[in-house]
């Protein structure tokens, strides 16, 4: 297959990750339509056109696709009416990586069934509940500590670690209140006491073998990423094991594009957690750590362009810049101070409003060691104030 440039690309989801995808797309001369649930979303600010719709509404999706006639649809979040994407694909529009893949990963239960039941991949012990009573029963079965998450959510929204039975009700209420979309279902997972968790960026190509970036280590709080670094310090044997699993899952999903495949690494095991069929938030470190960042790799894979070599540029890290209050007018302080240090960069996403813990930007750094890079990135992120 040879894909002519430029293409008309529609991004479904226009956050910070979509913004970088849009920039990478524009740099290859493509036309980008950015779509999200609110106006002035980050990717809309750099796109040729934008639309504000409910991406969970099939009618809304139909209207924007009819209006703009994209050749390629690039989903950027999970919460999309993915049945509609299957229809678009049948009508000849390319959906990245495939409409089926977005359908599998829209909810945690579908991808879990595929990985565990169908492909036999090791995951944490898990179960589901649709009522508080069911959650109590399944929690007892799985044991404590465990992790409760809405089946449809991301960035840790609605997620809690449950230490014992007395905390189950609180976890249920929190999950249901923070579930995206119309689902009332939660997943309960055995708590894995991992040594490190990693994202393995996996690039699946139309006409070339699957390739990988060096593993990215990360640290999460409240189920949301705080800092990431590359390369992650894990053994060659475990990297190969993770690659093997990543190939198995991404081959089952098909298509082309980058995937962020998440693993828990324990002393003896590589445990599959979940995956994003698109760039991963922890992969923002590649904005400084590689010759081609994860967004450029996504675009190359989508457009069937060659990726001759991924160069890792040495110890690098990212640290998030989070809002602490609700606000509709955003201004940043401390940027000059943060940028005064060598090998430090700051990306501010341009989100139009803030609320506690909303990710507003990211600090990036290189260092002589991963430890130094992490310290530099965190220090730079801490210098940024949101006024
Ligand atoms: N079973 C588990 N055992 C231990 N820690 C867990 C478990 N499940 C989740 N976590 C922690 O919570 C984080 C977020 O969980 P998960 O990746 O499932 O949620 P998410 O909301 O999909 O995140 P994102 O969309 O940002 O990738 C994990 O990266 C990990 O740190
Ligand atoms: N873990 C998934 C992830 O990081 N997704 C990124 O966050 C945006 C939503 O941010 P918001 O909640 O601040 O609007 C999404 O659009 C995507 O760029
Ligand atoms: Mg995750």
What backbone torsions phi and psi does residue 2 show, to the nearest 5 degrees?
Answer: -125, 125
Nearby residues of 59 by Cβ (< 8 Å), 6 or more positions away: none
Top-tier CATH class for 196-386: alpha beta
* Paired sense of beta strands 8-12 and 31-36, if any: parallel
ipTM of the complex: 0.98
Do 281 and 319 meet the contact criterion of CB atoms below 8 Å apart? Answer: no
> Is the overall model pTM greater than 0.95, yes or no?
yes
So which residues are the catalytic ones? 154, 156, 262, 274, 281-282, 359
Per-residue pLDDT of 155-179, as tens digits, reads 999 999 999 999 999 999 999 999 9
- 145 annotated binding-site participant: no
pLDDT of residue 2: 75
What number does CATH give the domain 8-95?
3.40.50.20
Beta bridge partners of 128: 187
User: Which runs of E-coded beta strand occur in the chain?
Assistant: 8-12, 31-36, 49-52, 72-75, 94-95, 126-129, 146-150, 160-162, 186-190, 196-204, 211-212, 216-221, 224-230, 257-265, 270-276, 316-322, 332-333, 344-348, 359-366, 385-386
Do 16 and 76 meet the contact criterion of CB atoms below 8 Å apart? Answer: no
Domain boundaries, the chain: 8-95, 125-190, 196-386
Structure tokens, 214: 């060096």
Question: Which residue, 6, 54, 40, is CA-closest to 349?
Answer: 40
Average pLDDT, the chain: 97
Q: 72: CA distance to ligand 3 center in Å? A: 25
Nearby residues of 270 by Cβ (< 8 Å), 6 or more positions away: 122, 238, 241, 242, 245, 263, 264
* Residue 67: pLDDT over 80: yes
Per-residue pLDDT of 269-313, as tens digits, reads 999 999 999 999 999 999 999 999 999 999 999 999 999 999 999
Q: How far apart are CA 70 and CA 302, in angstroms?
A: 14
* Residue 314: pLDDT over 70: yes
Contact residues of ligand 2, CB 6 A cut-off = 13, 15-18, 76-77, 154-155, 281, 351, 358-359
- 274 annotated binding-site participant: yes
Domain spanning 125-190: CATH 3.30.1490.20: yes
pLDDT of residue 133: 97
Q: What percent of the chain has pLDDT over 90?
A: 97
Per-residue pLDDT of 127-156, as tens digits, reads 999 999 999 999 999 999 999 999 999 999
Query: What is the pLDDT averaged over residues 355-377?
Result: 98
pLDDT of residue 65: 98
Per-residue pLDDT of 227-284, as tens digits, reads 999 999 999 999 999 999 999 999 999 999 999 999 999 999 999 999 999 999 999 9
Q: 275: CA distance to ligand 3 center in Å? A: 7
Contact residues of ligand 1, CB 6 A cut-off = 124, 147, 149, 153-156, 159, 189-192, 197, 220, 223, 225, 262, 273-274, 281
Query: What is the pLDDT averaged over residues 58-83?
Result: 97
pLDDT of residue 1: 55
The three-state (H, E, C) secondary structure of 94-105, written as one string: EECCCHHHHHHH
Q: 283: CA distance to ligand 3 center in Å? A: 12
Do 34 and 55 meet the contact criterion of CB atoms below 8 Å apart? Answer: no
Per-residue pLDDT of 181-196, as tens digits, reads 777 999 999 999 999 9
| Cβ-based neighbour number of residue 245 at 10 Å | 22
Handedness of CA 163, 168, 170, 173 (dihedral sign): positive
Three-class SS state of 336 = helix
pLDDT of residue 180: 84
Query: What is the pLDDT averaged over residues 70-92?
Result: 97
Nearby residues of 288 by Cβ (< 8 Å), 6 or more positions away: 313, 316, 318, 343, 345, 364, 365, 366
- 262 annotated binding-site participant: yes
């Amino acid at each position: 297959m040879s894909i002519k440039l430029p293409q008309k690309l529609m991004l479904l989801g226009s956050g910070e990750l979509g913004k970088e995808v849009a920039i990478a797309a524009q740099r290859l001369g493509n036309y980008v339509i950015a779509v999200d649930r609110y106006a002035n979303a980050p990717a809309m600010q750099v796109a040729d056109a934008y639309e504000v719709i409910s991406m969970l509404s099939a009618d809304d999706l139909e209207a924007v696709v009819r209006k703009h006639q994209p050749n390629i649809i690039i989903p950027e979040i999970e919460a999309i009416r993915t049945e509609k994407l299957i229809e678009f694909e049948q009508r000849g529009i390319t959906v990245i990586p495939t409409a089926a893949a977005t359908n599998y990963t829209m909810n945690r239960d579908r991808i879990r069934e595929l990985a565990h039941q169908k492909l036999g991949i090791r995951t944490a012990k898990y179960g589901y509940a649709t009522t508080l009573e069911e959650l109590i029963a399944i929690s007892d079965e799985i044991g404590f500590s465990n992790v409760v998450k809405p089946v449809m959510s991301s960035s840790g929204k609605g997620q809690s670690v449950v230490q014992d039975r007395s905390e189950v009700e609180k976890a249920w209420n929190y999950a249901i209140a923070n579930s995206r979309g119309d689902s009332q279902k939660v997943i309960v997972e055995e708590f894995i006491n991992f040594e490190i968790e990693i994202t393995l960026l996996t690039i699946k190509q139309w006409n070339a073998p699957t390739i990988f970036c060096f593993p990215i280590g990360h640290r999460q709080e409240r189920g949301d990423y705080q800092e990431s670094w590359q390369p992650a310090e894990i053994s060659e044997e475990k990297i190969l094991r993770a690659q093997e699993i990543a190939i198995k899952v991404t081959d089952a999903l098909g298509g082309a594009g980058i995937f962020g495949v998440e693993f828990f690494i324990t002393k003896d095991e590589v445990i599959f957690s979940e995956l994003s069929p698109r760039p991963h938030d922890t992969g923002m470190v590649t904005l400084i750590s590689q010759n081609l960042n994860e967004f450029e790799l996504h675009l190359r894979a989508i457009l069937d362009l060659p990726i001759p070599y991924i160069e890792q540029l040495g110890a690098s890290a990212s640290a998030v810049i989070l809002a602490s209050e609700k606000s509709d007018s955003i201004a940043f302080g401390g940027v000059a101070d943060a940028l005064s240090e060598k090998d430090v960069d700051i990306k501010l996403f341009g989100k139009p409003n803030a609320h506690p813990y909303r990710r507003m930007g990211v600090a990036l750094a290189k260092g002589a060691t991963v430890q130094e890079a992490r310290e530099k990135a965190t220090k730079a992120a801490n210098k940024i104030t949101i006024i």
